[in-house]
Structure 1
Amino acid sequence: MTKVTFRNPVLAGDRPDPAVIKVGDEYWMTYSSFEAAPGLLLYRSRDLVNWTYECAALPEPVGNTFAVDIAEHDGHFYIYIPFIPTPWSTLTDASIFVIHAPAMSGPWSEPIDLGIRGAIDPGHVVGEDGRRYLFVSGVRRIALADDGLSTIGELEHVYDGWRYPDEWVTESYALEGPKLFRKDGWIYLVSAVGGTAGPPTGHMVIVARSRSVHGPWENHPRNPIARTTEAAERWWSRGHATLVPGPARADDSDWWMVSHGYENGYRTLGRQILLEPIRWSEDGWPEAALADPGAEIEVPSGADGQRPPVEFEDDFSTLLLGERWAFHAPSRGEAGRIRVEDGMVMAGKGTSPADTSPLAMLTGDHSYEVEVELTLESAGVEAGLLLFFNNRLSCGMGIDVERMLSYSGGMRTHWREPVPSSDRIALRIRNDQHIVTGWYRLPDGEWIRHAVRYETSGYHANTIGDLLSLRPALYATGNGSARFRNFRYRPLP
């Protein structure tokens, strides 16, 4: 019988810090959504390989949404969220909140402030004493009330981590991302060290365990259980893992690890979600079953074959916020800027693509093409199509009523593309393994190639110091509004 295999990533594009929970025969997952709204997109799977979008748990983020944890307690569900201050939020320090719901599909509550400051990466566990706790970066711990919606006492330091050899090349020590689970009388603590960006050999997964939530914690004798050891590997900076039981119901040894990593040569795509099998040693420790998760891997028991990338068209008859589109660095009520009306009408904001909160989509393809038709609805507005990393780094093109404006490296370039004045245009951008080419088409005209091409392999976190990815995006800036129609995304071979 032919083995069914998959190849990482199992969920492509920038989806860092995955948090996974098994609910019955299903898995639910979310990940850090940073400055995107809607945030905390929830995906569902029955086999850990193929994931389907279900809903967004966080329509209006309080700040920059970092690594969360999902928990179930007495049939109720919780997502513990660290928010980081941003120019558009009212926070002044890293702050941990919680949202809760009767089911993973919602409805999710508004965020509740737990009063925890100066900490990120919460991890929930119920101790052997029956009480609930949050572990956070550091690793520190605080007790929760029985309902999980408030804290008791103060943060206390409980675990020093495992120290790797000083000659290993990492970004920083950075003990973070604690995820906890109970098995066979042990509480296992899975953490990340080494820094999530920087050198490709930095990030790694370490494990400790204790019989009690109060310690002492014994380090895995063979730490780390996952790490990129050399830059020739396909996946870099592997870390921030969650361990979950596999779909095989009768075999308690069937476990899997979900983590993130940068693809070698494609840091522009951000940290993508990786899946690999876990085996349990005779002395009761989890071990990564593969030295390198970059090759073909046999699927979990009963899993279907991996779904290939697909092209799609969006006529904007429905606004697929969350499922397809998200605002970058939004203000409260940002979704009020768009409406369905013979396409999508977007109100202008800001003075340039840098401060306009563009509407962006994730991609995990090495090569792809996007195109859209746009109409300026009034004078004083500029609109267009970008590959957008953040407010300091983007490339693409747009029009105002008088001219085409071209962008590279996050700035408007001196180049004046010879486009006749028009309030209607179609734009196309092709990203072919970092080589970016643009085209435009006036009404009833032919496609014309933009005279300048860009090379974007450096549009990534280590260049700009921001843990995001390069995404196709639509923008409208200035006074007035623009109408977008017939967006198309096509992966290229």
Structure 2
Amino acid sequence: MGGAGAGAALAQSAVAPAPRATGWRRDGEGKRIADLGNGRFLNPLISGDRPDPAVLKDGEDYYVTFSTFDAYPGLLIWHSRDLVNWQPLKPALHRNIGSVWAPSLHKDKGRYLLYIPVKAQPQNDIFVAWADDIEGPWSDPIPLGLHDHIDPCHAVAEDGSRWLFLSGGDRVRLSDDNLSLAGEVEHVYDPWRYPSDWIVEGFSPEGPKIHQIGDWYYMITAVGGTAGPPTGHMVIAARSKSLHGPWEDHPGNPIVRTTDNREAWWSRGHASLVQAPDGGWWSLYHGYENDFWTLGRQCLMDPVRFTGDGWFEMTGGDLSQPIEAPGGGAKVPHGMALSDDFSRPLALGTKWSFFKPADDEADRISVANDTLHLKGKGDAPSSGSPLLITAGDRSYAFECDIEIEPGGRAGLILFYDDKLYAGLGFDEDRFVTHQYGIERARPLNPHGRSMRMRVTNDRNIVVFDTSGDGGRTWRRFDRGMEVSGYHHNVRGDFLMLRPGLYAARQGTAKFRDFTFRAFDPDIA
């Protein structure tokens, strides 16, 4: 049934894309805010690396979480009342069980459920965790023994049976308490295929989302690969009167696809449906911002229109322009400050997270007298589980006072993973430059064991400045960098380039007055 949709999608590639908007509102740190304050919003809905959105409507409240991969604490839950403004609550995952991919968030029989697929050694698996309150405490994750699938989605059939739908068009029955398997994996759907001449990353049917709306069960699936060419990742849909099938494909498949590299958002997919307070329907999915793979897959929202034949369509186009916001619902404060004066316990799992931490990683941290004390680990960011934040703007600067003990090393970094990062560190005698994920030049350090350091990332052009007098005067470091290639299509693993800090070697490093500021270089 996909022929008409395929032809329409190919025809769209000849249409000149709309100009990209730049008129975001900005918060006190200069960060982008989707809500324009005039009844409209401009994507990204939640900026920075917020991939695979798993959204839950719970009465008047909305919750969403995202893939957090190797960042721990992970699976931060966000809360909204109007679908546009989102506030972080608490992380649901505190124990490192592997790299977390495409979770699924549900509520069934009064209990909140998180299904958590992980890539891990010695084997992959899907875990389930539960809580009586969305803010926890969440149970310890329970392995389900699903080693060959990702992207679970919980669904309840018309006969009351519980199921997990999985990648590849498969599903498996769950026990009545949703915490274990009650059958074998079975294949139930052959996903729609795009024309063979389309430029994609690969077929990769994944991210199924099941929604029961009216008389229909709708299954939304991603195909075409998650990254790779901007035109690859796409959204398809199918429906059935029964959760047990048969499934018929949407006649307009794909219902979302980037068809031109000039569009504002690339590789759009992994969609869910959600009903707004005013009764309208919307879709949350992710995409890469044009020319900014380094920001990861950001959370986008697209208006949905149901048609007279019971199908639906996305109506936001390439999402480059402001969109009339959903009606109803109270606003919560959006986002969070990324600056930190270290006057409170460290906000682990909301603002800060470790990369691939050990079970006792939090023992490296203490906060006292407006100072973060971070015990050294390893020899460099690659071996030291750095502390990172998620920054969702094209241009920003961050700085911090840093003091090390004799034999120690510390600094500020832009970190993709332990094989690809950039930054500047120092010991008491010399700087150390981090570039391409390796340690390079070692020029003399004129400041000794204490300095203020600043990193400016202006559209992937990076410079470093240092100060020996607390930021009153600055000295430009004689090595700039270009980091536009620090992303998934170069390195893999679906991450983003994140600002952060690290402490290595001996002793404990002290960090004070961490400040973050985003800016728009096109506005004077």
Residue of structure 2 in register with 1:88 after alignment: none
Residue of structure 2 in register with 1:32 after alignment: 67
> Higher mean Cα deviation, 456-465 or 189-198?
456-465
CA distance in 2: counterparts of 1:103 and 1:32, whole angstroms: 21
Q: CA deviation at 1:316?
A: 1.2
Q: How does 1:94-173 map to 2 (within 5 A)?
A: 94-173=124-203
- Seen in structure 2, the aligned counterparts of structure 1 residues 130 and 310 have a Cα distance that, compared at 3 Å, is closer
Residues 412-452 of structure 1: per-residue CA shift (max 9 Å, x gap): 123x3332261111110001111111001124672101011
Residue of structure 2 in register with 1:410 after alignment: 437
CA distance in 2: counterparts of 1:80 and 1:489, whole angstroms: 34
CA distance in 1: counterparts of 2:47 and 2:147, whole angstroms: 32
Residues 75-95 of structure 1: per-residue CA shift (max 9 Å, x gap): 11100000111xxxxx32220
- Seen in structure 2, the aligned counterparts of structure 1 residues 440 and 159 have a Cα distance that, compared at 3 Å, is same
1:206 is paired with a residue of what secondary structure?
A: strand
Structure 1, gaps ≥5 residues long: 86-90
2:84 is paired with a residue of what secondary structure?
A: coil
Are 1:396 and 2:396 counterparts? Answer: no
Residue of structure 2 in register with 1:184 after alignment: 214
Residue of structure 1 in register with 2:3 after alignment: none
CA contact (8 A) 2:87 2:335 kept: no
Are 1:426 and 2:461 counterparts? Answer: no
Q: How does 1:449-468 map to 2 (within 5 A)?
A: 449-468=476-495
Aligned-pair identity in percent equals: 47
- Seen in structure 2, the aligned counterparts of structure 1 residues 23 and 309 have a Cα distance that, compared at 3 Å, is closer
CA distance in 1: counterparts of 2:47 and 2:333, whole angstroms: 11
> Higher mean Cα deviation, 258-267 or 285-294?
285-294
- Partner amino acid for 1:357? S
Are 1:62 and 2:97 counterparts? Answer: yes
CA distance in 2: counterparts of 1:307 and 1:111, whole angstroms: 30
Structure 2, gaps ≥5 residues long: 1-36
- Seen in structure 2, the aligned counterparts of structure 1 residues 447 and 395 have a Cα distance that, compared at 3 Å, is same
CA distance in 2: counterparts of 1:313 and 1:100, whole angstroms: 32
Residue of structure 2 in register with 1:44 after alignment: 79
- Partner amino acid for 1:128? E
CA distance in 1: counterparts of 2:408 and 2:254, whole angstroms: 53
Are 1:293 and 2:319 counterparts? Answer: yes
- Partner amino acid for 2:212? R
Q: CA deviation at 1:480?
A: 1.8
- Seen in structure 2, the aligned counterparts of structure 1 residues 103 and 483 have a Cα distance that, compared at 3 Å, is same
CA contact (8 A) 2:92 2:136 kept: yes
Residue of structure 2 in register with 1:361 after alignment: 389
Residue of structure 2 in register with 1:271 after alignment: 297
Q: How does 1:333-352 map to 2 (within 5 A)?
A: 333-342=360-369, 343-352=371-380
CA distance in 1: counterparts of 2:143 and 2:355, whole angstroms: 23
> Higher mean Cα deviation, 193-202 or 105-114?
105-114
Residue of structure 1 in register with 2:55 after alignment: 20
CA contact (8 A) 1:4 1:304 kept: no
Residue of structure 2 in register with 1:477 after alignment: 504
Are 1:77 and 2:119 counterparts? Answer: no
CA distance in 2: counterparts of 1:94 and 1:374, whole angstroms: 39
Q: CA deviation at 1:308?
A: 8.3
CA distance in 2: counterparts of 1:329 and 1:61, whole angstroms: 7
Residues 458-487 of structure 1: per-residue CA shift (max 9 Å, x gap): 111111122111111110111221111110
2:183 is paired with a residue of what secondary structure?
A: strand
Q: CA deviation at 1:241?
A: 0.7
CA contact (8 A) 1:403 1:421 kept: no
> Higher mean Cα deviation, 326-335 or 361-370?
326-335
Residue of structure 2 in register with 1:201 after alignment: 231
CA distance in 1: counterparts of 2:292 and 2:318, whole angstroms: 17
Residues 286-325 of structure 1: per-residue CA shift (max 9 Å, x gap): 2102222121111001368998888653111220112210
Residue of structure 1 in register with 2:17 after alignment: none
Compare the two structures and name the one with the higher strand fraction.
1
Count of matched residue positions in the alignment of Structure 1 and Structure 2: 481
2:50 is paired with a residue of what secondary structure?
A: coil
- Partner amino acid for 2:311? W
CA contact (8 A) 1:387 1:394 kept: yes
Are 1:439 and 2:473 counterparts? Answer: no
> Higher mean Cα deviation, 285-294 or 422-431?
285-294
CA distance in 1: counterparts of 2:162 and 2:330, whole angstroms: 37
CA distance in 2: counterparts of 1:199 and 1:110, whole angstroms: 38
Residues 141-165 of structure 1: per-residue CA shift (max 9 Å, x gap): 1100010000012111111101001
CA distance in 1: counterparts of 2:410 and 2:382, whole angstroms: 13
CA distance in 2: counterparts of 1:433 and 1:102, whole angstroms: 43
CA distance in 1: counterparts of 2:273 and 2:96, whole angstroms: 27
Task: State TM-score, norm by structure 1.
Answer: 0.95
Q: CA deviation at 1:3?
A: 5.6
2:288 is paired with a residue of what secondary structure?
A: strand
CA contact (8 A) 2:96 2:358 kept: no
Task: State TM-score, norm by structure 2.
Answer: 0.89
Are 1:8 and 2:34 counterparts? Answer: no
Residue of structure 1 in register with 2:4 after alignment: none
Q: CA deviation at 1:234?
A: 0.2
Q: CA deviation at 1:382?
A: 1.0
Q: CA deviation at 1:355?
A: 1.4
Residue of structure 2 in register with 1:229 after alignment: 259
CA distance in 1: counterparts of 2:84 and 2:95, whole angstroms: 29
CA contact (8 A) 1:425 1:440 kept: yes
- Partner amino acid for 1:34? F
CA distance in 2: counterparts of 1:422 and 1:61, whole angstroms: 36
Residue of structure 1 in register with 2:277 after alignment: 247
- Partner amino acid for 1:473? G
Q: CA deviation at 1:68?
A: 0.8
Residue of structure 2 in register with 1:259 after alignment: 285
| Equivalent residue in structure 2 for 1:370, among 398, 401, 419 | 398
CA contact (8 A) 1:6 1:306 kept: no
CA contact (8 A) 1:133 1:142 kept: yes
| Equivalent residue in structure 2 for 1:282, among 294, 297, 308 | 308
CA distance in 2: counterparts of 1:135 and 1:384, whole angstroms: 44
CA distance in 2: counterparts of 1:382 and 1:334, whole angstroms: 18
CA contact (8 A) 2:87 2:336 kept: no
2:402 is paired with a residue of what secondary structure?
A: strand
